[in-house]
Amino acid sequence: MSKKLLAFVVILAMVAGGTTAYAETIRTNVPESGEIIIVPFWDYAQDVKPVISFTNSKYSGQIYGNSDVTKISMTVVLSVKNSNGTYSEVSRTSGSSNTNVITKSNSYYYVKGNTYKLTVTGQVYVGSSYETVEKSITATY
């Protein structure tokens, strides 16, 4: 008898409007083109910025940490795209800072027509705990 009562209650709930489901989408980080942009989330880092400057023949990387960050180590790697679609490293710079911000840059003479990838990788420390962060961009000269 209790199974029949339970089935009756479920059916009654469905008839009374329980079958209507509502969903709402939030269009955060979705541009007009409809592409989805994935934004990384880090505990210690606020931002990681790779920058390629063709006009100045330079590239740079920056990592900004939260106010409680005690150290940041960073490597910035510039790679060029090969004819087979893979990338080969052509230049790099690295360093560390005992503050919550680090910036490193280097010169490179770009070749017109080539596609370059710049990857910033770092370890962001709060005391002895750290997280690894990474961000890449590509650009064609």
Shortest CA distance to 72 belongs to which of 120, 125, 136? 125
Cα angle: 64, vertex 89, 104; to 5 degrees: 25
Bridge-based pairing of strands 101-107 and 115-126 is unpaired
CATH of domain 45-140: 2.60.40.10
Shortest CA distance to 137 belongs to which of 111, 118, 121, 124? 118
pLDDT at 10: 55
pLDDT at 41: 86
pLDDT at 36: 72
pLDDT at 30: 52
Each residue's pLDDT, cut to its tens digit, for the chain (141 residues) gives: 555 655 555 565 555 554 443 334 444 445 566 677 676 789 999 999 999 999 999 999 999 999 999 999 999 999 999 999 999 999 999 999 999 999 999 999 999 999 999 999 999 999 999 999 999 999 999
Residue 39 CA: distances (Å) to CA of 6, 66, 81, 134: 46, 17, 25, 12
Shortest CA distance to 91 belongs to which of 105, 103, 74? 105
